[in-house]
Structures are given as C-alpha cells and as structure tokens.
Structure 1
Amino acid sequence: MSRTSSPASILSGPILISLSFGTLAFWFIGTFFDVYQVAFIGAIYELLWLPFLVMLFGLPILTFFLWKSSKYSTKSLYFYALMISTATLLVFLLVESNK
C-alpha cells in the first residue's frame, strides 16, 4: 500500500511555526546585534544569510498556500505561521529601508 505525501503533511504546522520563529530570531539578531564582534559567529551568520533570506520571502508564500488548503481556518497553525512570517518580512523591510 503506497502513501502519497501532500505538501501539507510533509510541512506540518509545528515545523512551519519553528521555521518562522527561527527566521524571526535570525533577522532580529542580525539587525540589532553586532554579529561580527566574534569572528566565529560572524562566519556562521555569513554562511546562513542566503538560506534565511530565501525563507524570509518564501515562507509567507508557502504558508499562505498551505493555509488556503486548510480552507482559511484561523485555528490552523498555518495561519499563525503566516502571521509570524509576514510580520518578520514587514519588519525586515521597514527596518532595512530606514538604514
């Protein structure tokens, strides 16, 4: 018996919530703290900025489509992941535009 995996089952709500909070934490730390003060932390930050940039713009789109597939339920974890990732994107764009 074969199981087909839908994107909604692979990317469950808790995973997307964790990715959203991780993206929020990464950009918050990079924006408000000097990550280059310690060379090792600066190197790790430089290695991770591109994947987190992709997640910054990709997570709101992905979570919107998954939220749409859950019939726009506000009880869905996709809704909360969408709110977190959209807020992170807006804060990132507003803070970076004021620099």
Structure 2
Amino acid sequence: MSKDIERGSLGDSFEDFLKEQGTYEETTEHAIKRVLAFQLEQAMKEQNIGKAEMAKRLHTSRSQLDRLLDPEYQGVTLAVLTRAANAVGRTLRLELV
C-alpha cells in the first residue's frame, strides 16, 4: 500500500463508485438476480431436485426454468420467484432499505 494514498480515501464504498458511474441500480439488480438464481440452484441440489422435477413443480417448461436460473435473464417476475422459492420449501423475502 502506498504512503501517497490519503488516509480515508480507500474508504469510499463500491456503492458510491457505482453511483458516480451511473450504474448502481443496474448493477444491483443484476447482482440480486445472480444471488437468487444461485440460491435456487443450491436449494435444488441440497434436495436432489433436478430441472425436470423443478419445472414440473412450477407447472412450466424446462426452458422457462432455465431462464429463471439464468443470472443474465432479467425478465423474471416476483410471482415466479415466489413460486420457485415455495417449490424448494423456502420463502421469498423482500424489503426496502
């Protein structure tokens, strides 16, 4: 670490950086979707639920399930996320902070 770096300047948060760049909301949305997809896949693995079974539990196609689990796909509704969480015995919890 360089002594030339002013004390405290490293304390700027990544959130502040993203806000300055104008990408905070988009980045946050993307991160949340990645986390939810990861959590669903982990719950499926823990319970030995394959994609075909999960699609059946959601009353949807496997291609629709693949979109749900795709961290890049942003067109997922709260209703679908809630049904997916319930299908693996979990609940979806959202909050405004």
With the length of structure 2 as denominator, give the TM-score of the two structures. Answer: 0.32
Could you say which structure has the larger radius of gyration?
2
Higher relative contact order structure (alpha carbons within 8 Å, sequence separation ≥ 6): 1
Please give the TM-score of this superposition, normalised by the length of structure 1. 0.31
